Structure 1
């Protein structure tokens, strides 16, 4: 049960309890009421409306048309109360009192502090118009209503933000535990198999030695991945892309990146890093030993571009399309698919004997997109 659901129920209970104020005052001054039948009818109407609208809020949330109608009904009730709750020995009628704050709480909870203050101001104006003009009572009531709406909206915003932070923290912890479990499983199974393949391949020699060499490279890459901070803490909000790509640096791989952090939302940074890893793996798999790879990271503020260039034999024209048709989707899915889902583009430039360059350009998400800001404009 979320915070908003609990608030809707709490406000519904408050509005019913608040109806006790005009009922009690009306009962105490019943003999002095100028129109007791009208007073009883008004109270009955308020009970019915409160029940109906509270039920609607609880089931369907704050629908705009219902919230606006609720404000109109409350304003009409203020006007009617000046006639139905008039008392013979008083200059002003019995007030609906705390019940009026119900709609103010609704507006604050539904649309924020400004809306809550506006609703309080509207009800306060009706009170001044129909209940004796501007005097100490109506001014005090106006101040209380406006402050109630403003405070309610502010507290709801803080509560929803705290709830969202708690949810994200829970997801981070769950994801971290799951990834640690997967890392253990990989270590106990996949890495052991790759190590065995590498050892036996070297012992057998020939083509088996080449398989052993490839298995050794994969083992090394997997060990680097599961031991990295980026793997153990995948959802820390934003990650430095340089940190994720820099793990490829080695004897045959050169990494060039800006001096300042290239921070992206964690999910975006991980997908870009995975695409780069796939491109590097393609070089290791399809190019001869000694092929050099250069990784270049660029950040122009609007987008982040990562280029993977090698001095290998290159790709023959039409080879990528043919590989995709054969079901070998390394470039099509591992690279292009990932980048495309991020709203980016991939450009492959290659030719026989000319090496290959894969340029991945990903637009930088807007600042609010990283945190899923659900309260923009409040």
Structure 2
């Protein structure tokens, strides 16, 4: 069955566009409110009325333009900034001298900052600096002098817009870094999944061919040698290049047991774990399970059964053909515990770390990796001369990514 992967794109700047949309509407209403409250200071109010009608229509008509970066084109930004600049320059024609000398607001008032912020969100701090410059010149022309409050307002708009533009650039860079990290994580997980599948099938078959070829001799020995080289090359590939290709491990070629587990066709609901573990029972493998079904999510049940199979493969390969194994299934209220125990010679201390460093990732990927994917855990206890015990714990409600795919 093909898997459907849902990809969600994040946009750290989208909230800024929504905030800018609200800012433009509110500041347009604020500018018109100032005009009404200071009507007496206007010598030619008709000029202001005409401008505010244009500003009102322009602001509402261009709301779709400030919804996202794609809609906010360079042509729109230039036209929007022109509306603000015209309003600033028209202010001396509409108000009296006292209004200007006392530092009264321009016709667009703080609506002008919205035009500059659009530049900042669209193109970063350089665009913001570019848009702030004509606004500063227009304010100085409107005032007619280098008054302290005018210079203060100009610098404030300049610094604020550049700072916001810089923040937007940093946010975009962080978003790209996060997207790349998520891609690497997804690729790593897929690589681990493929490595587990390869370890459970192809690598074990190649190891068996190498062993049997060495026993038969002749042309079969040459075929076994080539199979061994391919095993090492493939193992190096899935383990990230931990081994040189020319190195062939003898103890990995001692043989393997490849076992197929029949899975229920209907995987839409919970799966009885006992049905997946039943094929593992044999004359040398004793299976002890509850009398009632052990339901698990399909993905969790399959991964747990595969981990049990990997543990049994390790028993047959490293404990010998005569080794016996026991599988104990415990159905707890919140989790399922499966214990695989054998009567082999055990694992020498430090052997697992050495094997993982050499690229033999059976325990790391086929057992621990599978359990980690479904939110479970695997604990291995081995005492030399007293066998090995692997305890696998899986929550009944999958917390791993494999259970949600």
Q: Distance in 2 between matches of 1:213 and 1:202?
A: 8
C-alpha deviations, 1:54-74, integer Å up to 9, x for none?
A: 312426333222222222222
Q: Distance in 1 between matches of 2:208 and 2:40?
A: 98
- The within-5 A match list for 1:68-217 is 68-84=78-94, 86-87=95-96, 90-92=99-101, 94-95=105-106, 96-217=108-229
Report the equivalent of 2:76.
66
1:87 offset after TM fit, Å? 4.7
SS in 2 for 1:224: helix
Q: Distance in 2 between matches of 1:23 and 1:69?
A: 20
- What TM-score results when the alignment is normalised by the length of structure 2? 0.53
- What TM-score results when the alignment is normalised by the length of structure 1? 0.56
C-alpha deviations, 1:104-138, integer Å up to 9, x for none?
A: 11222222213212211210111111234321232
Instruction: Write 1 or 2 for the structure with the bigger share of helix.
Output: 1
Q: Distance in 2 between matches of 1:88 and 1:65?
A: 35
> Pick from 227, 244, 262: which aligns with 1:247?
244
Structure 1 portions without partners, runs of 5+: 231-243, 252-378
Evaluate the alpha carbon distance shift between residue 24 and residue 155 of structure 1 in structure 2; reply closer, same or farther with a 3 A threshold: same
Q: Which has the larger radius of gyration?
A: 2
The answer to whether the Cα contact below 8 Å between 1:198 and 1:212 also exists between their aligned partners in 2 is: yes
Report the equivalent of 1:10.
19
1:83 offset after TM fit, Å? 2.5
Q: Distance in 2 between matches of 1:158 and 1:79?
A: 35
> Pick from 39, 45, 49: which aligns with 1:30?
39
Q: Distance in 1 between matches of 2:100 and 2:88?
A: 16
1:51 offset after TM fit, Å? 2.8
Evaluate the alpha carbon distance shift between residue 219 and residue 249 of structure 1 in structure 2; reply closer, same or farther with a 3 A threshold: closer
SS in 2 for 1:121: helix
Q: Distance in 1 between matches of 2:48 and 2:141?
A: 20
Q: Distance in 2 between matches of 1:171 and 1:82?
A: 57
Segments ≥4 residues shifted beyond 6 Å: none
Q: Distance in 1 between matches of 2:67 and 2:128?
A: 19
1:55 aligns with 2:64: yes
1:249 offset after TM fit, Å? 5.9
SS in 1 for 2:110: helix
C-alpha deviations, 1:226-282, integer Å up to 9, x for none?
A: 334x5xxxxxxxxxxxxx8x834659xxxxxxxxxxxxxxxxxxxxxxxxxxxxxxx
- The within-5 A match list for 1:332-351 is none
Report the equivalent of 1:373.
none
The answer to whether the Cα contact below 8 Å between 1:87 and 1:94 also exists between their aligned partners in 2 is: no
Q: Report the RMSD for the aligned CA atoms in angstroms.
A: 2.5
1:141 offset after TM fit, Å? 1.7
